[in-house]
Amino acid sequence: MNGEPDLCIGGAWRHASDGGTRSSINPADGSVAGVVDEATVEDARAAVAAARTAFDDGTWPSTPVIERAALLDRVADLLQRDKESLSLLETADTGKTLAESRIDIDDVTSVFRYYAKLVGVQSDRLVDVGDASVVSRVVREPIGVCVLIAPWNYPLLQMSWKIAPALAAGCTMVAKPSEVTPLSTIAFVHLLEEAGVPPGVVNLVQGSGAVLGDALTGDPAVDFVSFTGGLATGRTISRVAAEHVTKVAVELGGKNPHIVFADAADSAESFDMAVDHVLTGVFLHSGQVCSAGTRLIVEESIADDFVAALAERAAKIRVGNGMDPASETGPLVSEQHRDKVEAYVALGISEGAKLVVGGERPSDPALADGSYYLPTIFDRCDRTMRIVTEETFGPILTVERFTDEAEAIRLGNDTDYGLAAGVRTSDAARGERVVRALRHGTVWLNDFGYYTAAAEWGGFGKSGNGRELGPAGLAEYQEMKHIWHNTAPMPAGWFKG
């Protein structure tokens, strides 16, 4: 049995009903970052039931918007108060550098501030039906009980994209973080309590998705499932939720192109900046980013020089423990995940891609106990290779080459996914043409990787459906209701008898 209970159900903190626990491993050195209660299927069902009761009988759905917004702002204040402790938990669980974790907590704060403001300015829509005695209006109501399932790469950030709009809308919810990275979400739910979230509004279960998944997503008491994770899991969840016609939004993987035209690198300065952006776009967080620019699509005339410069800088990236300020990127999230990445590197070699740099674990004995992997670049890749078409979710960049704009667009769109893409060109007209032609949910022109809480995030194609962030990210948690109020009703007069 663990010390403090980690499951929050109906406002009460409890241990798992069978006393089960799981150790969360720090991927930097293999040590135990924390031991947490692991929910059973019964616990998951109890959490859904508690969320249902809080929605049907509780006060949160009808709490005035101004009070809900104030609570979100209080959460933002507490996040900043606890920024350092939350960042340390995030680094211990994921391995990412402390600098990245601090940015994550600032971003989580911005999400709460944004939805506090947005929900406060939403208004009903009056509809003129051409009859002065009829008041017709469309109002927004909370969708109900939500199941929120997050991945391990940005544990608290991805969860905040769900919890903040769900709270703003007046929903109740069950949150399930990844079994690999539960620690920051547990601390965060304590913080929500402190901010004044009523009992039962936010319930928390951690544990294996494979075990708890169906109990959460297939429960008829659930009105909406918001999931972020891999394609295979997204398919399963969509199938299970379909049984009760439960609404589902899935944010899935990506295989994101970064297209570099020669004119974007025609001076020493612009060349270096293009290299810098491609490098950061793919190797940040050791490539464990859904929107990582893992496919470099570069104009043939500069390709050799560009790849050589990339390789030189990739070899200098300081891979190390995220707690060490000198580290520029941390380990992969687990041994199992590194195995998967290593298998992709072996596959790339066997498919005939040219390994330019990396392709191995670091040799530094100080890193031997962690799941580190060196930034890796494959040149001479093409679309017949699985290394180019499948999401590796590791520090692997593949290089394809093009000779004209049409080919660049064709390659950029030649993917089942459609989450994000980057375009670099100094020709503004071409830039606009290409970004409009790309079938991806976010496209950066002469930049890469940035997002804001105020703009929608989501994918085309198999990168998912639905949107997070922005007004659409709040609308996911709201039902639209049309109210027709006739202030002076008359007989319909249709049936004469």
**Residue of 158, 172, 226, 246 interacting with ligand NAP (CB under 6 A):** 158
Whole-angstrom distance between the N-terminal and C-terminal Cα of the chain?
A: 74
Least separation, in Å, of the C-beta of 165 and ligand NAP? 14
Q: Any contact of residue 21 with ligand NAP (CB under 6 A)?
A: no
Give dist(CA 431, CA 443) in Å, integer. 11
User: Which CB atom, from 158 or from 425, has the smaller least distance to ligand NAP?
Assistant: 158
Q: Any contact of residue 252 with ligand NAP (CB under 6 A)?
A: yes
Least separation, in Å, of the C-beta of 486 and ligand NAP? 45
Q: Which two tokens stand for residue 11?
A: 């406002």
Identify any residues that bridge with 329 across adjacent strands, giving them in sequence order: 319
- DSSP letter (8 states) at residue 198: P
Least separation, in Å, of the C-beta of 163 and ligand NAP? 14
Least separation, in Å, of the C-beta of 392 and ligand NAP? 10
Q: Any contact of residue 30 with ligand NAP (CB under 6 A)?
A: no
The contacts of residue 381 (CB under 8 Å, 6+ apart) are: 348, 353, 387, 388, 398, 399, 400
> How many C-beta neighbours within 10 Å does residue 53 have?
16
Is residue 335 among the annotated active site residues? no
Strands 376-379 and 354-357: antiparallel
- Give the per-residue contact string, 413-452, with ligand NAP (x = CB under 6 A; - = no): ------x---------------------------------
Site residues for ligand NAP, 280-299, by CB under 6 A, read 290
The contacts of residue 176 (CB under 8 Å, 6+ apart) are: 44, 147, 148, 149, 150, 204, 205, 206, 207, 209, 212, 216
Q: Name which of 168, 167, 169, 188 is nearest 177 in CA terms.
A: 188
Cβ atoms of residues 24 and 208 within 8 Å: no
User: Which CB atom, from 80 or from 208, has the smaller least distance to ligand NAP?
Assistant: 208
Site residues for ligand NAP, 120-149, by CB under 6 A, read 149
Site residues for ligand NAP, 207-246, by CB under 6 A, read 208-210, 213, 217, 228-230, 233, 236-237
Q: Which two tokens stand for residue 113?
A: 């501030």
Q: What is the CB-side half-sphere exposure of residue 24 using CA atoms within 13 A?
A: 30
Site residues for ligand NAP, 391-410, by CB under 6 A, read 391, 393
Catalytic amino acids? 251
* Binding-site ranges for ligand NAP (CB under 6 A): 149-154, 158, 176, 178-180, 208-210, 213, 217, 228-230, 233, 236-237, 251-254, 290, 391, 393, 419, 459, 463-464
